[in-house]
């Protein structure tokens, strides 16, 4: 993969979290795996692939990485603490730029995002091809298509409210030990 493709993949990994921020103005723990994968990919770009303008074409990652949970604690470093800070800074910069790119694309397509969310509320699942087909539609066609799926927006809102209520109720029940 080339650098542009990797950066696009990282932006896609961060898009779910960005969508939460845009639509709900709140972030959940749902994007945890995507954040880990995006950060690992950015780290590989910087430490293994030499794809950092600031760091340059140097491979800093150790070839013999451990495969257990505490590998970061026991991984042998072949660089100084100062270099480690630079590497971390570059990884953070890649993640932040990719996150801003994801937010920008979603904001430019916010209306489509909302219609696709309505589609998901009605259908509950969506394939990659369905999503591509929906995104190819212009906004007015997408709106009409989603509205004609047979579930009224009042029913959709009730689903969302009920889901949020049940989710919160279950959480309260678990906290109280009921």
**Whether pTM exceeds 0.95:** no
Spell out the residues 6+ positions from residue 74 whose beta carbon is closer than 8 angstroms to its own: 66
pLDDT means per 10 residues, the chain with 178 residues, are 95 93 87 94 94 87 55 65 92 97 94 90 87 91 89 51 46 40
* Distances in whole angstroms, Cα of residue 32 to Cα of each of 13, 16, 37, 67: 10, 10, 9, 20
């Amino acid at each position: 993969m080339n650098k542009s493709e990797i950066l696009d993949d990282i932006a896609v990994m961060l898009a779910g979290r960005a969508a939460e921020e845009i639509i709900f103005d709140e972030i959940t723990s749902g994007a945890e795996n995507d954040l880990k994968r995006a950060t690992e990919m950015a780290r590989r770009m910087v430490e293994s692939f030499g794809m950092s303008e600031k760091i340059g074409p140097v491979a800093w990652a150790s070839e013999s990485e451990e495969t257990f949970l505490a590998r970061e604690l026991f991984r042998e470093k072949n660089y100084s603490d100062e270099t480690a800070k630079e590497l971390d800074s570059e990884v953070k910069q890649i993640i932040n730029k990719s996150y801003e790119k994801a937010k920008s694309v979603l904001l430019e397509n916010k209306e489509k995002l909302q219609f696709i969310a309505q589609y998901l509320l009605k259908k509950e699942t969506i394939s990659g091809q369905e999503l591509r087909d929906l995104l190819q539609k212009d906004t007015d066609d997408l709106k009409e298509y989603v509205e004609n799926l047979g579930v009224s927006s009042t029913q959709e809102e009730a689903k969302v409210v009920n889901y949020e209520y049940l989710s919160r109720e279950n959480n309260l029940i678990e906290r109280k030990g009921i």
